[in-house]
Amino acid sequence: MSRNMIAKRVSFVSTDEAATLRERRRLLRDAARRLFVRVQRSGELCLEGGPALGYVPVMYGKKSTGPLVFRANDVTALNVAWQFFLNGLNYSFLSHKLHPFFGVYFTLSPTEHFQLLRDWLKTWKPSSPSRDGRVLDLGTGSGVISFLVQQLCPEAEILASDRCPNAVFSVTAELQRAMIPRIRVKRSDLFEELTEEAPFDLIIFNPPWVPEPPERSAATTAGTEADVVFGNDYPPELFPRLFAEVSEVLQPDGHLLVLFSNYAQCRGLAERSPMEDGLRTLKLNQVQRRPVEETDRNKHRQTRRDKSWSFKEKHQVELWDFMKKNDRAIGSALVLEICAKFGADMFGDRDFWCQNAAK
């Protein structure tokens, strides 16, 4: 059968066949959770033909005796992560490859949100000419944003921070490998450990884009080591906390940039964007949007059908540029919110109250 014919057959997988394939994958995943594999401390699998696990001697040391036991799906995860660590991530806009440690979030696609950020940074100047600009890369992951800022704003003082300990370990090692002294790294849950470093001229956050499923919120893992595994969905309190606390650590003319996307809304996983909540406490300077290019990687692996058929609208990435509100604006926002909740009558002349809210 020619390649073309195979491609044609594959692209017409019926809904029933697709469901069978999904079920087969689910069963395989389930089986992999129940299968255990012995691994030598040197990283060799006690299973013929299996890959050596490079992370094992790094994590456990070669000298200690006796094999370890891993679940089969952990072996797969460790092997995939090790390949990325060894070969490195090649971002076209960075001058060197990144080598993320196991359990650290990164993505090679989409990258359009990084392009939005790059364009924004090219025109950014800290408001005070006497300062070089203090930048916080919140939720640094592999450190990609810190390295981008460092390239475009070489004078900036950059702090990379994440609540995930693996990310802190990973970026620290990356800085030593690349011999970059100007970036510092600190573990923190949002701004909890960062008050001494504040105020910042610029805070950049590329947060998780998808809300945590309700069953996980109920069995909360927040602040525990389980974040390493589940850290890429946002818990309900993440954005309310961010928007309530950020003004405390921003310079008066500082910016908070949030890289977000309509992904969760497109997939029916969220009704509204949590970014809207930022308007209560912050001033919205601008929102920039950019459509995500459909690449072959975005298509379903088995059926090669364009996954966007299931999207409600076109997937776009977003750059939300917030600034601090002055007290008067906060007062007006509060009046508007109370009017919306209890009816405008309560205030009589609503405009009068808005205009005078901060006097």
Distance from CA of residue 338 to its chain's centroid?
Answer: 34
Applying CB under 6 A, the span of 128-136, 138-146, 264-272, 276-284 interacting with ligand SAM comes to: 138-146
Question: Under the criterion CB under 6 A, does residue 170 sit at the interface with ligand SAM?
Answer: no
Question: Under the criterion CB under 6 A, does residue 54 sit at the interface with ligand SAM?
Answer: no
Question: Under the criterion CB under 6 A, does residue 100 sit at the interface with ligand SAM?
Answer: no
Site map (CB under 6 A) of ligand SAM, residues 234-263, x = contact: ----x-------------------------
* Closest distance of CB 167 from ligand SAM, Å: 5
Nearer to ligand SAM, 72 or 167 (CB): 167
Question: Under the criterion CB under 6 A, does residue 136 sit at the interface with ligand SAM?
Answer: no
Report cis status (omega within 30 of 0) of the bond before 110: yes
Out of 43, 112, 159, 162, point to the residue binding ligand SAM (CB under 6 A): 162
What number of other Cβ atoms are within 10 A of residue 216's Cβ?
Answer: 15
Applying CB under 6 A, the span of 60-68, 75-83, 140-148, 316-324 interacting with ligand SAM comes to: 140-148
Report cis status (omega within 30 of 0) of the bond before 240: no
Give the helix/strand (H/E) hosting 259.
strand 250-261
* Closest distance of CB 134 from ligand SAM, Å: 18
Out of 37, 56, 72, 167, point to the residue binding ligand SAM (CB under 6 A): 167
Q: Name every residue whose Cβ is closer than 8 Å to that of residue 40 and which is 6 or more positions away in sequence.
A: 46, 56, 67
Question: Under the criterion CB under 6 A, does residue 163 sit at the interface with ligand SAM?
Answer: yes
Distance CA 55, CA 159 (A): 27
> 3-state secondary structure string, 261-305?
ECHHHHCCCCCCCHHHHHHHHEEEEEEEEEECCCCHHHCCCCCCC
Nearer to ligand SAM, 140 or 332 (CB): 140
Nearer to ligand SAM, 131 or 177 (CB): 177
Altogether, the residues listed in the chain come to a count of 359
Binding site for ligand SAM (CB under 6 A): 105-107, 138-142, 144-145, 162-164, 167, 189-190, 206-208, 231-232, 238
